[in-house]
């Protein structure tokens, strides 16, 4: 079964000034990321603004990602929606495309649900596709934390192959690694915890910051694999100033703004989460000086 690894980029979805999807710019940005060593391309993650697009737009974005990657690295696609019905429908339509290596399925958001509800939701998704599935835990955005007991129970489905933990709670990540099923791959969703997740037995990271600093983020994983832990730690620490600026606004919108300021044609975020703030721009420009 598919094994995720390394630093995977949840690619910024390129838009034009009218906030329409820009496939040419999207493909060019994907080329740039692959050329700078990322280990996977993830269409429609949080940094890809999955929440901002219709189903038909999502299908176009994923199709464009597949065509742009051309088999050079694995393609991950986000198919999680609020309801089980919609998630199953999108998952099935993406599964029929061909070219996607792994699905990422965020837990239902906005609605307050139980762990039993989560189990039934993911069971329905796992049973509707043969593609590998990576669970996506981000309780600050969804309001629902996927308990390690639920992850352990979900491991009975062979195509559930791991989980991305964006809880920011390292103890939660450790519980996934230590108390679920050894075959499951655990990926860091918080860029500040990449090295520590690797040291604890994790498989890598889905790194929003790799949209802006792909070489730096990839180096954390590569140095770790080479056994150069002190150097990996130095690389890990370098991302802190940028992470601090991300907290000044909607984090994934700040990442997109940073890419814009560096000259990448990714366009604005969809309103209302577009960042137009001189203080954030000034802070980003100061941070960029640290990476020259």
Q: Which residues are catalytic?
A: 136, 164
The CA-atom distances, in angstroms, between 69 and each of 26, 100, 263 are: 11, 10, 21
End-to-end CA distance of the chain, in Å? 40
Q: How many residues does the chain have?
A: 292
Specify whether the CB–CB gap between 149 and 115 falls below 8 A. Answer: yes
Strand partners, 135: 105, 163
Q: How far apart are CA 287 and CA 89, in angstroms?
A: 42
Degrees (nearest 5) of the Cα angle 230, 231, 233? 65
The rounded distance, in Å, linking the Cα atoms of 51 and 47 is 10
Q: Is 173 helix (H, G, I), strand (E, B) or coil?
A: helix
């Amino acid at each position: 079964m598919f094994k995720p690894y390394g630093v995977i980029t949840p690619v910024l979805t390129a838009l034009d000034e009218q906030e329409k999807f820009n496939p040419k710019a999207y493909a060019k940005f994907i080329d740039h990321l692959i050329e700078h060593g990322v280990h996977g391309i993830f269409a429609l993650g949080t940094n890809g603004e999955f929440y901002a697009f219709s189903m038909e737009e999502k299908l176009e974005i994923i199709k464009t990602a597949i065509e742009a990657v051309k088999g050079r690295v694995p393609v991950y696609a986000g198919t999680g929606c609020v309801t089980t019905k919609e998630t199953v429908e999108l998952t099935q339509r993406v599964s029929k495309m061909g070219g996607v290596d792994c699905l990422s399925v965020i837990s239902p958001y906005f609605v307050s649900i139980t762990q039993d509800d989560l189990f039934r939701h993911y069971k329905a998704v796992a049973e509707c596709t043969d593609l590998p599935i990576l669970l996506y835990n981000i309780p600050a955005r969804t309001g629902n934390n996927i308990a390690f007991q639920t992850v352990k129970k979900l491991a009975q489905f062979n195509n559930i192959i791991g989980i991305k933990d964006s809880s920011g709670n390292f103890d939660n990540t450790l519980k996934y690694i230590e108390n679920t099923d050894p075959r499951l791959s655990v990926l860091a969703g918080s860029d500040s915890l990449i090295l520590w997740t690797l040291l604890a037995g994790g498989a890598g990271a889905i790194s929003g910051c790799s949209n802006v600093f792909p070489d730096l983020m990839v180096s954390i994983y590569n140095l770790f694999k080479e056994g150069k832990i002190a150097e990996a730690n130095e690389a890990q620490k370098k991302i802190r100033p940028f992470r601090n600026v991300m907290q000044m606004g909607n984090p994934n919108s700040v990442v997109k703004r940073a890419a814009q300021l560096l000259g990448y044609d990714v366009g604005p975020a969809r309103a209302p989460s577009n960042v137009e703030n001189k203080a954030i721009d000034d802070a980003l420009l100061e941070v960029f000086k640290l990476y020259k």
